[in-house]
Amino acid sequence: MVIRDPVIQREALLPPHMPAQNGQHIDYKLLTLVRTLPKIELHRHLEGSVRLETLIDIALKYGIEMPEYDPEMLRPFVQMMPDENRTSQHFLSKFSMLRQFYRSNDVVARVTREAVEDAAADNIHYMELRFTPMALCNVTKSPLEDIVALVAETVCETAKTCGIQVKLIASMNRHEAVEIGEKVMKAAIANMHKGVVALDLAGDEANFSALPFRGLFQQAREAGLGITIHAGEWSGANSVWDAIGNMNAKRIGHGIRALEDIAMINVLVEREIVLEVCPSSNYLSGIVDSLDNHPLILLTDHDVLTTINTDDPSVCNITLSEEIVRTMTHIGLTLEDIKKYTLRAARAAFLPNSERDALVRQFQAALARF
C-alpha cells in the first residue's frame, strides 16, 4: 500500500522563503529528526483529520457545492490560516463545512482509513483516535451503532496494514442531548472488543456543564472504558473541577486553564490526572496569545502529567512531528524532554495494565536508540 506523506507534500508546496503553516516558522532539519522518532498521539479527532484532496474528491463525487475546488484555494475554508481571527468560534466554524461531507458509509470509511495512514506516515506507533459518531451519521442517517462499528472495523484493518496500533475514543458533545450521548455510550461499550477504549465529552464547555452526562460516564467506567473530558480549554479551572469531581476523568483534553487555580493543580498532581495538551490548537483558537507563552512547561514544572497532541491536524494544518518541533523551538523542550513526554503518554494509554506495560517497554527500547 502506498502511504501518502502529508509532511513531504506540504513542504513541497512551500517556497523556502515562506513561513510554515499558521505563520510559524519551522526548523526543517529538526523536523526530519523528529519524524524518525516513534511517537504517540492521545488526542486527535477524526473529524479534524481530513485531507484537502479527499474533500475535493468527495465534493465532485456527491455534487457538494464548494467555494473552491483547488486544494490551496480551499485551504482557508477548512483550515486556520496565519492572518485569521484566533477565536474558539472561528476555529469551530471550520467544522461546519466539514460536517456536510459524510454523505455515505464509504466516505466515513475513507476518511477513517486515511487518518490512520497519515498517522503511520508520521511515524506514530500508537494512537488513540477519537471520533464523534453523531457528526458522522448526521447526513447519512445511518444508525449510530453501525457507524461506530464501521469506524472500528476500518481502523482495525488499516492499522494492521500500516503497522500502527490504533485504539478509539467515542466522543459526544455536552451541548447536545443526553439521549444522543447515551447511544454513543452504548455503542462504545458494544464495540470494546473492536478497539473502543474510552469515552470523551467535548463541545461547548463555556456554556454547558458536564453534570447531565454524569450517569452515562459512570456506566461507561463500570463497563471498563477510560474517561477523558475536554475541560480547561474554553472555560477555566471550574470546568476541570467538574470533569474530575463529577465525571471521574482520568485524562483531561487540554486542561491548561487549570493553572488559574493552584488548588486545582494540586488535585491534578495528587490524582495523577493526565493532561492531553494541544499547543497549536490552543494558539489557533486564541487560548494563548503565542506559542512562546504556552504554559506546557509551567504545568510540567508543577509536576502535572502532560502529553503533546495535535487535536485536529488538518484544521490546524499540522502533523504531530511538527507539533513536537514547535514545542522545542517555541516552548523550549529538548529531545530528552520529548522522550519523557512520549513515555508519559505511553503510561497514560487507555489499555489494560499488561498491554500498557508492554507499550511502555516498547517505547523505552525504541527511544533508547536516539
Contact 348, 305 (CB under 8 A): yes
Q: Tell me how far, at minimum, the Cβ of 253 lies from Zn ion, in Å.
A: 5
The C-alpha atoms of residue 274 and residue 296 are separated, in whole angstroms, by 12
Q: Tell me how far, at minimum, the Cβ of 311 lies from Zn ion, in Å.
A: 5
Q: Tell me how far, at minimum, the Cβ of 45 lies from Zn ion, in Å.
A: 6
303 φψ region: left (φ > 0), alpha (ψ -120 to 50), beta (else): left
Q: Tell me how far, at minimum, the Cβ of 181 lies from Zn ion, in Å.
A: 16
Q: Tell me how far, at minimum, the Cβ of 334 lies from Zn ion, in Å.
A: 27
Q: Tell me how far, at minimum, the Cβ of 354 lies from Zn ion, in Å.
A: 28
Cβ proximity to Zn ion, 118 vs 205, nearer residue: 205
CA 266 to chain centre: 26
Cβ proximity to Zn ion, 66 vs 249, nearer residue: 249
Cβ proximity to Zn ion, 253 vs 313, nearer residue: 253
Candidates 5, 13, 92; CA nearest to 48 is 92
Q: Tell me how far, at minimum, the Cβ of 171 lies from Zn ion, in Å.
A: 8
The C-alpha atoms of residue 282 and residue 294 are separated, in whole angstroms, by 8
Give me 69's grid cell.
Answer: 475546488
DSSP labels, 220-263: HHHTT-EEEEEESSSS-HHHHHIIIIIT--SEEEE-GGGGG-HH
Candidates 26, 52, 8, 17; CA nearest to 280 is 26
Cβ proximity to Zn ion, 66 vs 296, nearer residue: 296
Cβ proximity to Zn ion, 42 vs 349, nearer residue: 42
Contact residues for Zn ion, defined by CB under 5 A? 253, 311
List 233, 276, 322, 323, catalytic entry:
233
Cβ proximity to Zn ion, 21 vs 173, nearer residue: 173
No. of H helices and E strands in the chain?
17, 8
Candidates 35, 32, 18; CA nearest to 82 is 18
Give me 106's grid cell.
Answer: 464509504
Residue 158 amino acid letter: T
Q: Is there a catalytic annotation at residue 233? A: yes
What value, to the nearest 5°, has the Cα angle with vertex 84 and ends 79 and 86?
A: 90
The C-alpha atoms of residue 166 and residue 171 are separated, in whole angstroms, by 16
The C-alpha atoms of residue 317 and residue 321 are separated, in whole angstroms, by 12
Cβ proximity to Zn ion, 49 vs 342, nearer residue: 49
Residue numbers annotated as active site:
233
